[in-house]
């Protein structure tokens, strides 16, 4: 039987070093100048050697979010979509339901791990996060809260360490 650690190393060794990403900010109030979370995500991806092939800002309207996700999944350059915003529980937060209905496969461990890590930073308020991840049309999709601190946590602790590996696995 092969050592699980060596299998994981092999998978990561065969993973792409650079992943082409779409970054989508979902907000009723953000504009390019005030989109701190979207900017942070783009900076962290680029710094890690990944490519941002498209970014956009849309209102927290399901049809607008679905349109950008569909376009991203139809773009042969895009391998991962990272969304920020609309994951809370206010009456306007509809990103979770919109994304949930579009996923072919869900990665519940992402949301669980994100909330566990958030617990260490914000305590019980972590339960309000509906961060999620999954697969649509062979693309990895992450849906993150709109807070820059939450985006940094998700990128640095979860997404960047595994992004190439996730893309490799979903393309098999």
Q: CATH number for the domain including 114?
A: 3.40.980.10
**Domain span holding position 142:** 40-49+77-92+107-172
Reported as half-sphere exposure (CB side, CA atoms, 13 A), residue 62 has a value of 9
For the chain, list residues with pLDDT below 70.
Answer: 1, 7-8, 11
Which of 129, 33, 19, 135 has the alpha carbon at shortest distance from 85? 129
The total of structural domains in the chain comes to 1
- Can you give the pLDDT at residue 50? 98
**Alpha-carbon gap, residue 21 to 26, rounded angstroms:** 16
Structure token digits, residue 85: 């915003």
Residue 116 within a domain = yes
**pLDDT tens-place string over residues 32-78:** 999 999 999 999 999 999 999 999 999 999 999 999 999 999 999 99
Cα distances (angstroms) measured from residue 97 to each of 27, 92, 143, 164? 15, 11, 11, 26
Residue 143 within a domain = yes
Phi and psi of 100, rounded to 5°? -55, -40
pTM of the model: 0.93
Residue 5 within a domain = no
Q: CB–CB of 129/90 below 8 Å?
A: no
- Can you give the pLDDT at residue 8? 67
């Amino acid at each position: 039987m092969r050592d699980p650690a060596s299998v994981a190393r092999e998978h990561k060794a065969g993973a792409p070093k650079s992943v082409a990403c779409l970054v989508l900010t979902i907000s009723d109030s953000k504009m390019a100048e005030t989109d701190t979370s979207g900017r942070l995500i783009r900076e962290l991806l680029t710094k890690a050697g990944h490519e941002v092939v498209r970014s956009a800002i849309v209102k927290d309207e399901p049809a607008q979010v679905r349109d950008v996700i569909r376009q991203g999944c139809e773009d042969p350059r895009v391998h991962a979509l990272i969304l920020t915003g609309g994951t809370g529980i206010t009456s306007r937060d509809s990103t979770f339901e919109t994304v949930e209905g579009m996923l072919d496969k869900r990665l519940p461990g992402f949301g669980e791990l994100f909330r566990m890590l958030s617990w260490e930073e914000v305590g019980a308020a972590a339960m309000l996060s509906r961060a999620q991840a999954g697969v649509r049309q062979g693309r990895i999709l992450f849906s993150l809260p709109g807070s820059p601190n939450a985006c940094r946590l998700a990128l640095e602790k979860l997404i960047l360490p595994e992004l190439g590996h996730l893309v490799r696995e979903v393309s098999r």
